[in-house]
Structure 1
Amino acid sequence: MKNRISIARAGVMFAVLLALTLGTVLQPASAAGPATLTYGSKGTDVPDLQYRLKTLGYFNEQLTSYYGAVTRHSVLLFQRDYGLRADGIAGPATWEMLKKVSVNRNELDLLARIIYGEARGEPYEGQVAVGAVVMNRLASPSFPNTVKGVIEQPRAFTAVDDGQYYMKPDATAYRAALEAVRGYDPTGGALYYFNPDTATSSWIWSRKQVGKIGRHIFAV
């Protein structure tokens, strides 16, 4: 079960993550994939791990390049909540799960951009819902296994095709992105959405509809 945090803590975490996103430069993790991290590990994969745990509410300290006791404890809590072996080691299985349910700094940017491009005129719940659809697709074996792959999959999102995806998102889009990452899903598990006033695809109308938020119908 995903870790849920209070609204007050969510506000504080959003402010911290937004500051990190807009003003902190993190070195990218190795292109070969993240290393297995244990107590005492150092390197560029450590702050990536900490950032992902922070988006989920498990890590509440400043990012560092050192895998210390706080990081190990955060990993343990994450592992227990997600049914992983709770050994405090960020190995392949832990990284695989983290990448399905969390984002790194760049991915939070991408998520905020697609939310802003697709739903900036929608109510806040509708903006979170767009982010939730991305996260639901990320967790599904039927879609690409990265945030970038999901969002930039050909013809998946109108905002990518018409360029609105490349606009600078506002703070509300970042907040909605973070809530979607943290597990808030007002769609109830939707994998698709569309505007009934503009949709021309007969296929999207054939999907099972699960609700409507603002101008968007959500479907599975």
Structure 2
Amino acid sequence: MNVTENDRYILARTLWGEARGEGLSGMIAVAWSIRNRVEDGKEKSWWGEGYAGVCQKPYQFSCWNKNDPNYPMLSGAKPIPFRELAQCRIAADQVIDGKVEDPTNGATHYYAASMPSAPKWANGAKKTLTLGNHIFFRDVP
């Protein structure tokens, strides 16, 4: 797959919106859940095409929802602090370039452990990892 500069840019911004407080290992895990969607093996994927398409698929990553408080920074209307975005870019590049293994064991989904209850999609899914404030799953029905 041909990965564009825009794919890297959007993945880094998504990591900032979804996992900036999780450290490098947490950002890498979230990036791998996105990569696992990108590489689902389907010619025309439901998830979207490429990293940008998967990240910006409506209602998949809440940070891209227009009513999310992170959206003004992700959209570029407000700046993201340079150092924070630089760390997200490092995580994005490491995952895209295959420099780090998948710590999620194939997860395509996660949710924040701080949620009051598990989302419905987690019923019947295989939990693969708990890391920081995120719980990761694969084989989501």
The interval holding the TM-score normalised by the smaller chain is 0.7 to 0.9
Note if 1:178 corresponds to 2:93.
yes
Alignment gaps of 5+ in structure 1: 1-97
Task: Give the conservation status (yes or no) of the 8 Å contact 1:136–1:190.
Answer: yes
The letter for the 2-side match of 1:173 is: C
> Match of 1:219?
137
Deviations 1:181-202 (A, max 9, x none): 1222221211111112215522
Count how many residue pairs are aligned between Structure 1 and Structure 2.
120
Residue 84 of structure 1: aligned partner:
none
Cα gap change, 1:164/1:194 in structure 2, threshold over 3 Å: closer, same or farther?
same
Give TM-score scaled by structure 2 length. Answer: 0.76
Q: 1:209 and 2:113 equivalent?
A: no
Q: Comparing 125-134 with 198-207, which one deviates more in the overlay?
A: 198-207
| Paired amino acid for 2:70 | Q
Cα-to-partner distance string for 1:15-71 (whole Å, 9 max, x where unaligned): xxxxxxxxxxxxxxxxxxxxxxxxxxxxxxxxxxxxxxxxxxxxxxxxxxxxxxxxx
Change beyond 3 A, Cα 1:214–1:205: farther
The amino acid across from 1:160 in the alignment is W
Normalized per residue, the structure richer in strand is 2
Task: Check conservation: 1:138, 1:144, Cα contact below 8 A.
Answer: yes
CA RMSD of aligned residues (A): 1.8
Rounded Cα–Cα distance in structure 1 between residues aligned with 2:23 and 2:118: 23
* 1:158 equivalent in structure 2: 62
Aligned match of 1:122: 22
Deviation at 1:147, TM superposition (A): 1.7
Displacement of 1:132 in angstroms is 1.1
Q: Distance in 2 between matches of 1:205 and 1:118?
A: 22
TM-score by length of 1: 0.50
Q: Secondary structure at the match of 2:136?
A: strand
Residue pairs, 1:67-82, within 5 angstroms = none
- Structure 1 residue 109, shift from structure 2 partner: 0.4
| Rg larger for | 1
- Matching residue within 75, 89, 111 for 1:194: 111
Q: Percent identity?
A: 32
Q: CA deviation at 1:107?
A: 1.1
Post-superposition Cα deviations, 1:110-162, rounded to whole Å, max 9, x if no partner, equal: 01000011000002111011111111100112522222221111210111121
Deviation for aligned residue 1:207: 1.7
Q: Aligned ranges for residues 128-147 of structure 1 at < 5 Å?
A: 128-140=28-40, 141=42, 142=45, 143-147=47-51
- Contact residue 6 and residue 52 of structure 2 kept, 8 A: no
- Which of 88, 102, 107 is equivalent to 2:7? 107
Q: Distance in 2 between matches of 1:148 and 1:159?
A: 13
Q: Which has the higher contact order (CA 8 A, sep 6+)?
A: 2
